[in-house]
Amino acid sequence: MAKAQYRLIVRQGPNPGQIFELNKNEISIGRDIANDFVINDAEVSRKHARLILEGDRYKIEDLNSTNGTYIDGQRLIGPHLMSIGEIILFGDNVGVVYDGEPATSDITVQSPVDLGNTPVSAIPAPPEESYMPPKVTMYPLPQAATPDIEAEPPNETVKKPVNTWLLAGCGCLVVILLLLIAAFVFIDQPWNPGGGLYCTRLYFIFGPLGYCP
């Protein structure tokens, strides 16, 4: 631990700029040459004040001086523990600054570990991280809505069954009718020896039809 170092620097008085090192446990201040810090000024008493070391700091006491002791403009009544930067005024003409460096603790800097001389087996391997692939959830794609289409029945022409027997009967009747007409015409011709329907019994049947007038 570094020891504290304090000093008094004269700012106003007979010797401006004078530096007085504080290296004793008790330091007397006054005009008398028997004091540790001698100030040759008429405003300063023979035994004006004293500094006493307490711990690592000094405290100041006024020794019933005639013109008094002031700390930063305030007259000293009892003991005062000094702080660095404070101004002490002895009477009206002499002013000093309390300066110094407080005690500091020793800081030990540890040397970094030499990994080059460390066996490989002594260096712990970094933990292996197991990789877990993210789970992928498959969702079915939404199907596009298709309009409902009503199935239309095929346009089929319904064919009605044809009654073949009816057609055949009609055809036969037409043929028979044509044959009868042809026969009647043949019989009614003048060149036919037995022609004429007047002499036949069929006249009464076909007469109204106009074949035998």
The pLDDT of residue 176 is above 50: yes
The answer to pTM > 0.85 is no
Instruction: Report if residue 11 sits inside a domain.
Output: yes
Instruction: Report if residue 115 sits inside a domain.
Output: no
Q: How confident is the model at residue 121 (pLDDT cuts 50, 70, 90)?
A: low
Q: Which two tokens stand for residue 25?
A: 């446990």
Q: State the amino acid at position 75 in one-letter form.
A: R
Question: pLDDT tens, 88-112?
Answer: 999 999 999 999 988 776 555 555 4
Residue 90 sits in a domain whose CATH number is 2.60.200.20
Domain closes at, from 50, 82, 101: 101
Instruction: Report if residue 110 sits inside a domain.
Output: no
Report how many domains make up the chain.
2
Residue 185 sits in which domain range? 164-209
Mean pLDDT over 76-82 rounds to 95
Strands 37-38 and 26-30: parallel
